């Protein structure tokens, strides 16, 4: 067995002397136990340091995980907020389209009514021509798709919360996706709008036609003093045919063209006084008698509502009034139904 080196074998004496007694004790030892004690202490310190280091690393890792978690929560909340926002947007979009479709639909129904009224008017003013007029125009617009729900009814279908949720694509309602509802709403609104535009055009065409017919009141006054038909003649007191209507008024009141057309007569004779005859479309003529003054001449084009003279009492007349006639194919007809077509609008 190899001998230990000298410095290890060297013995040391440790003297322990208490402060107040003479007895001292001594311990004799080599360096080895001291070294052992030192080594053990060092080891303990190292382990403690290692443990501390490991712990702080754990702490750091935990902190990092915490941060990651917080970020993930933030991101989730943000995406949730985004989602809620887009759901709200979709909801309002669906709401808007529904309202739009409803509004346009309502307008269309009003227009349907108006169309029927116009058709009745045209039927009266242009017998047999309303069909041609209306059907030719709708034939022209045959490309416009008919409404999917059949047009009339006017029921409003409020969008349910469920549908909205589905529309927003929330959950997994396959088959009732938002795209379907939105697309059908948009299509519906679009087709209604197209139909509305076609109807508007059609209405404009009809209105153009109506402007050339004697259907507007020729005076500001609408007071009828004598109706069309058999009456007792104001001069002879005999039963006679009154071929027009008499409208009361004040001398000098404006007299207006009942419809657009061409002045075919502007003259004076003893019976009619100052009178004007206007030729309109579709075999119609309108006649204005007993004028105080004529403001148009033969061959002149006039528009509906244009002033053509002044109301008076010239000719065979008992006082200021307008004697107004409408002729259809050179035969006098009762003017009143024509003038009353738009009575509500005038009054």
Which residue, 246 or 253, is less far from Zn ion as judged by CB? Answer: 246
Which helix (H) or strand (E) element contains residue 245? Answer: strand 245-248
Question: Nearest distance from residue 244's CB to Zn ion, in Å?
Answer: 5
Cite the DSSP H helix spans in 126-259.
Answer: 129-140, 161-167, 178-211
CB of 242 to Zn ion, least distance (A): 6
The site for Zn ion, by CB under 5 A, has a size of: 2
Binding residues for Zn ion restricted to 88-127, rule: CB under 5 A: none
Tell me which stretch binds Zn ion (CB under 5 A): 10-18, 71-79, 278-286, 319-327: 319-327
The smaller minimum CB distance to Zn ion, of residues 280 and 323, is found at: 323
Residue of closest CB approach to Zn ion:
323
Q: Which two tokens stand for residue 31?
A: 């360096």
**Nearest approach, Cβ of 246 to Zn ion (angstroms)?**
4
Which of 274, 323 has the CB closer to Zn ion? 323
The reply on whether position 323 binds Zn ion by CB under 5 A is yes
Q: Judge contact between 92 and 86, C-beta under 8 A.
A: no
x/- mask, Zn ion, residues 140-159, rule CB under 5 A, reads --------------------
Residue closer to Zn ion by CB (options 130, 317) is: 317
323, two tokens: 């004697």
Report yes or no: 78 and 84 within 8 Å, Cβ to Cβ: no
Shortest approach of Zn ion to residue 227 CB, angstroms?
10
Among 69-77, 110-118, 119-127, 244-252, the segment contacting Zn ion (CB under 5 A): 244-252
Considering the rule CB under 5 A, would residue 253 count as an interface residue with Zn ion? no
| Host H or E run for residue 63 | helix 32-125
246 sits near Zn ion (criterion: CB under 5 A)? yes
Q: How far is the CB of 276 from Zn ion (least distance, A)?
A: 15
Query: In angstroms, rounded to a whole number, what is the distance separating the alpha carbons of residues 254 and 274?
Result: 14
In the complex with Zn ion, the residue whose CB is nearer, 163 or 265, is 265
Quote the least distance from Cβ 149 to Zn ion, whole Å.
Answer: 53
* 103 phi/psi in degrees, rounded to 5: -65, -45
Phi-psi region of 237 (alpha: psi -120 to 50; beta: other; left: phi over 0): left
What does DSSP assign to residue 223?
-
- Using the CB atoms, write b or e for 326-342: b if 16+ within 10 Å: bbbeeebbbbeebbebe
Contact 216, 256 (CB under 8 A): yes
What residue ranges bind Zn ion (CB under 5 A)?
Answer: 246, 323
């Amino acid at each position: 067995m190899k001998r230990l080196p000298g410095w290890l074998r060297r013995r040391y004496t440790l003297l322990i002397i208490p402060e107040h007694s003479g007895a001292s004790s001594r311990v004799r030892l080599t360096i080895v136990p001291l070294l052992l004690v030192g080594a053990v202490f060092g080891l303990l310190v190292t382990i403690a340091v290692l443990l501390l280091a490991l712990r702080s690393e754990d702490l750091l890792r935990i902190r990092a995980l915490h941060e990651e978690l917080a970020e993930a929560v933030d991101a989730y909340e943000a995406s949730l907020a985004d989602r809620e926002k887009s759901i709200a947007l979709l909801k309002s979009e669906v709401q808007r389209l529904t309202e739009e479709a409803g509004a346009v639909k309502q307008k269309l129904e009003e227009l349907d009514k108006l169309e029927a009224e116009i058709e009745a008017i045209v039927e009266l003013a242009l017998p047999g021509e309303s069909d041609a007029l209306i059907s030719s125009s709708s034939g022209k617009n045959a490309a416009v798709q008919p409404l999917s729900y059949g047009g009339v009814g006017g029921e409003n279908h409020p969008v349910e919360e469920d549908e909205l949720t589905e529309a927003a694509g929330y959950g997994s309602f396959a088959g009732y996706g938002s795209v379907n509802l939105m697309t059908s709403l948009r299509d519906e609104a679009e087709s209604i709008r197209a139909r509305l535009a076609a109807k508007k055009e059609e209405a404009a065409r009809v209105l153009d036609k109506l402007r050339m017919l004697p259907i507007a009141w020729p005076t500001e006054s609408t007071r009828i003093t004598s109706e069309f038909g058999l009456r007792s003649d104001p001069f002879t007191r005999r039963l006679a045919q009154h071929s027009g209507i008499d409208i009361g008024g004040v001398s000098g009141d404006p007299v207006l063209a009942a419809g657009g057309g061409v002045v075919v007569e502007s003259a004076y004779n003893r019976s009619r006084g100052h009178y004007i005859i206007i030729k309109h479309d579709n075999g119609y003529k309108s006649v204005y008698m007993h004028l105080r003054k004529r403001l148009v001449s033969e061959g002149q084009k006039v528009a509906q509502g244009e002033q053509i003279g002044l109301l008076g009492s010239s000719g065979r007349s008992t006082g200021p009034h307008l004697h107004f006639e409408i002729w259809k194919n050179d035969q006098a007809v009762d003017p009143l139904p024509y003038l009353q077509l738009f009575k509500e609008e005038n009054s």
